Structure 1
Amino acid sequence: MTDKRFTGSFVGVKPLQQGRLLRYLQTILPALSSQKIRGDNSLSALKFLFSTQGRVTRLPFILFVVGLNLILTGSYFLIQTYFPKEDMMRYGLALSIPAFVTFITLWPAFAVTVKRLHDVNWSAFPALGLFIPIVVGIAGTSFISFQNFDTDQFVAAHQKVSWVTSISSYYVYALLLVLSLVKGTKGQNRYGSDPLSKGGGAEAAF
């Protein structure tokens, strides 16, 4: 039976591949089945990832945004702690992997965070803090790359950038914690209808 929630198409992707992609998105985002955007259409995976309209409950927010941040933070920690820094090129390449993942998932993480803020009837403004560690990290790394540092100077400068980035990350962690704990507004609010208004699913308690 055709899932009517997914009626769009992707340019350059064959119908069979479209179906596989959509089934994959539904698999990794299982809590989306009863979510709504403004109470009009079922919240598809693509809208969940890219739209800032509507509301989402705590469970999909925790599964995607909090889970993603835990994975990326753990990756950075392991690389910075255990990866040998004698070879600056390989060390920089290792750091570029989680950095690239952070870059391509930044908007989806922002969009989902905005919808979680909407669920508690808050504006999107606090979600802008998600960009602070990214801006600090890119600016600091770019500055270091243009300097003629030896290995010790490179490591010392990189540690300073990491320290500043870590401090700015505390705001992000605090925001994620608050949004993981605070319940959404019951019923309609200024951002749309209650995603749980029609109930059901394991996420009903969230």
Structure 2
Amino acid sequence: MNSFSWRTFLLSFRGRAPRSDYWLRLVLPFFGFILLIGVLANAMPDAEPILKTIFAVVLVAMVWPSLAVAVKRLHDRDKSAWWLLLLMIPVIGSIWWFVDGGCLRGTKGPNRYGNDPLKSY
């Protein structure tokens, strides 16, 4: 059984990441953080400049982990990280990423980027 490492998951560009890890360990916590900042900004209007600063710092800090996990999602689909360049196409790139990176299962069994993260050994 594989042990999970947050450091490897968020900072390394090697290996594979299944959809569940992508959604439950990156996307949903980030949206939860955005929701929390929004609620706090409405509840404490005087603290809005501080909350905007915190949000900006977290947003910048999330660039590397977001790229690392996106690359691992592509690796799980047996695709190169170069596919991320499709995100530069407005609207179409986002739709492509939602479907390919967020909805479709990775390749079954090992691929050139590693073993199947869903298969228990």
Task: Return the TM-score normalized by structure 1.
Answer: 0.46
Q: Give the equivalent residue in structure 1 for 2:118.
A: 196
1:129-176 C-alpha deviation (Å, 9 max, x unpaired): 78x7xxxxxxxxxxxxxxxxxxxxxxxxxxxxxxxxxxx699557624
Matched-pair contact (CA < 8 Å) for 2:37–2:51: no
Task: Report the counterpart of residue 63 of structure 2 in structure 1.
Answer: 106
Q: TM-score, normalised by structure 2?
A: 0.71
The 1:75/1:172 distance shift into structure 2, 3 A limit, reads farther
Shift of 1:58: 1.1
Partner residue in 2 for 1:187: 109
- Higher alpha-carbon deviation: 97-106 or 119-128: 119-128
Q: Is the 8 A contact 1:66 1:176 kept in 2?
A: no
Which has the greater radius of gyration?
1
Structure 2 unpaired stretches of 5+? none
- Structure 1 residues 76 and 45: CA distance shift in structure 2, 3 A: closer
Query: For residue 70 of structure 1, what is the aligned residue in structure 2?
Result: 31
What RMSD, in angstroms, separates the aligned Cα atoms of the two structures?
Answer: 3.5
Structure 1 residues 112 and 192, CA, compared in 2 at 3 Å: closer, same or farther? same
- State the partner residue of 1:47: 8
CA separation in 2, counterparts of 1:107 and 1:96?
A: 19
User: Paired residue for 1:27?
Assistant: none
Structure 1, unaligned runs of 5 or more: 1-32, 35-41, 133-167, 200-206
Q: Secondary structure at the match of 2:62?
A: helix
Amino acid across the alignment from 1:197: K
**% identical equivalent positions:** 33
Deviating above 4 A after TM superposition, structure 1's stretches of 4 or more consecutive aligned residues are 75-84, 168-174
Matches within 5 A, 1:1-206: 34=2, 43-74=4-35, 91-127=48-84, 171-172=93-94, 175-176=97-98, 178-198=100-120
CA 1:124–1:75: 2 relative to 1, 3 Å: farther
CA contact (8 A) 2:73 2:101 kept: yes
Asked if 2 retains the 8 angstrom alpha-carbon contact of 1:52 and 1:114, the reply is: yes
| Count of equivalent residues | 120
Q: Give the conservation status (yes or no) of the 8 Å contact 2:22–2:102.
A: yes
| AA of the residue aligned to 1:185 | T
